[in-house]
Structure 1
Amino acid sequence: MDFKLLSYIVKDNLGYIQLADPPKNEMNTLFFQEFNELVQIIKQDNELGGVIIQADGRHFSSGADTKELLSLFHKTDSLLPEPIKQNGLAFRELAELPIPVVACLKGICYGSALELALSAHFRIAASNTRMSFPEAGFGIIPGLAGIYHLEKIVGKAQAMKFTLSGESISSSEAKKYGLIDIFAAKHELENQAVELIKKTGQNYKKDLKTSYLRK
């Protein structure tokens, strides 16, 4: 598959999505086009037992291309521009997959990148991971269903506080809030993701997340 900002392989019945434009792994229009295409490929593969999302370089992703993102908001009076709504569809489809989806995080995980991570069913992170929704500083809101997933994890009040403050939190804080499920060394992120998917077994149910983590 000829992608520029992403790569995708299937190995041992697991799909590996790789953010492949370091150092920032920025998410622009092309990224979302490619990501949507990948999600459709994954949805049609009935042999897959799980999906692992990783990133090249030091950081998971700095999030959306800020200039491009702000231009979309400036072109409309709508609270959420139509292109952003469309971009969010792929993240929602990812979250709705019937197989386990694991995000492997390291370094910066901001904005749209955090929304992608929250769309995964599990998050495994290195200790240097930092998370933030910086959108409020630009007078806009996260628009890729990130707030919805955040509320499910931390509750409405805490989600609102985190979103409006734009603060960057450490991995230890993120773990305390439930945004990170497992810590792992950077070189062990993929192995831990594979092991976690194995624990879920053949009859995977998203509602049993806690029991899988206890195994």
Structure 2
Amino acid sequence: MNFENILVEKTNEIATITINRPKKLNALNKATIEELHEAFKDLNNDVNTKVILLTGSGDKAFVAGADISEFAHFSEAEGGKLAAKGQELLFDFVENLSTPVIALVNGFALGGGLELAMSCHFRIASDNARVGLPETSLGVIPGYGGTQRLPQLIGKGKAMELIMTAGMMSAEEAKAYGLVNYVVTQEELKPLAEKIAGKIIKNSSVAIGKAIEAVNSGFKDGENGYKSEINAFGACFGTEDFKEGTTAFLEKRKPNFPNK
């Protein structure tokens, strides 16, 4: 599928999605959100894609925010629909993919950009990255899951401070609070992501999908994470990957997972 705002590459079971709007610092507009949805959906359905890397073009920004010009004159109802549709199409969608998604934060990740990075399963950053949720400086609040995911990741107090002050964190500060897993140079960002992805690929993609489901359930209202874990654990016993993994262990060889 041809896209106007993103690039998609595949190499050795690793797919890379690059948000490609450098003149707008990769800001998210409606068209880009829709294209990202289609790309993630297609890659998640591709049995030959085991890990998805998400980054922004250039060396200045992952995503510098949402495209404010698209919604500056929205009504209350339109604003609510904007948030609901965005969460459904992209942010919640990415969080609940069974294929692991790693955000490569290669510069500014602000507003919707940080919200997109937080919807990924984990994040690594370049040392020039700056992250924050500046929405209150525009008279609005984060609407793509930021008020929920940021406290989950860094704690309520610090999240409240960042949201209220519309401030930014450096990459190292983000790492100290657990918002990103690693901080490296721009040049090392993609190689590190590929190294981590290579470790993920060696394991059962079916089990990884179940693990994502179980972890996420612990953060959802009305769901019992422990019960979800029990159900997901039991479901693994009915998979070909479980049979191969346990057989390989007992035969003292490396498993060759069919990913079924």
Mean Cα deviation higher: 60-69 or 101-110? 60-69
Q: Secondary structure at the match of 1:30?
A: helix
Q: Secondary structure at the match of 1:169?
A: strand
Instruction: Choose the corresponding residue for 1:62, options 61, 64, 74.
Output: 64
Matched, 1:111 2:111: yes
Q: Secondary structure at the match of 2:22?
A: coil
Counterpart residue type for residue 66 of structure 2: A
User: Is contact 2:14-2:197 (8 Å) kept?
Assistant: no
Quote the offset at 1:83 in angstroms: 2.2
Q: Secondary structure at the match of 1:81?
A: helix
Q: Deviations over 1:155-209 (max 9, x none)?
A: 22322221121001111111111111011221121111111122233242344xx
State the match for 1:44 in structure 2: 45
Q: Deviations over 1:84-116 (max 9, x none)?
A: 211112211111122321111122111100001
The two structures have a TM-score, normalised by structure 1, of 0.88
Where do 1:155-174 residues align within 5 Å? Answer: 155-174=155-174
Matched, 1:147 2:142: no
Structure 2 gaps, min length 5: 216-260
Q: Which has the higher contact order (CA 8 A, sep 6+)?
A: 1
Which structure has the greater CA radius of gyration? 2
Q: Deviations over 1:144-165 (max 9, x none)?
A: 1122221211122322221121
Q: Secondary structure at the match of 1:173?
A: helix
Please give the root-mean-square deviation of Cα atoms over the aligned residues, in Å: 1.7
Matched, 1:87 2:89: no
Quote the offset at 1:53 in angstroms: 0.5
User: Is contact 2:172-2:183 (8 Å) kept?
Assistant: no
Q: Secondary structure at the match of 1:141?
A: coil
Quote the offset at 1:36 in angstroms: 1.6
State the match for 2:32 in structure 1: 31
Q: Distance in 2 between matches of 1:154 and 1:185?
A: 23
Q: Distance in 1 between matches of 2:48 and 2:183?
A: 29
Q: Deviations over 1:31-53 (max 9, x none)?
A: 11211211221232233211100
Q: Distance in 2 between matches of 1:69 and 1:133?
A: 17
User: Is contact 1:17-1:51 (8 Å) kept?
Assistant: yes
Counterpart residue type for residue 53 of structure 1: L
Q: Distance in 2 between matches of 1:91 and 1:133?
A: 15
Q: Secondary structure at the match of 2:72?
A: helix
User: Is contact 1:14-1:48 (8 Å) kept?
Assistant: yes
Count of residue correspondences: 204
Counterpart residue type for residue 87 of structure 1: G
User: Is contact 2:101-2:120 (8 Å) kept?
Assistant: yes
The two structures have a TM-score, normalised by structure 2, of 0.73
Q: Distance in 2 between matches of 1:189 and 1:25?
A: 18
Where do 1:179-194 residues align within 5 Å? Answer: 179-194=179-194
User: Is contact 1:119-1:146 (8 Å) kept?
Assistant: no
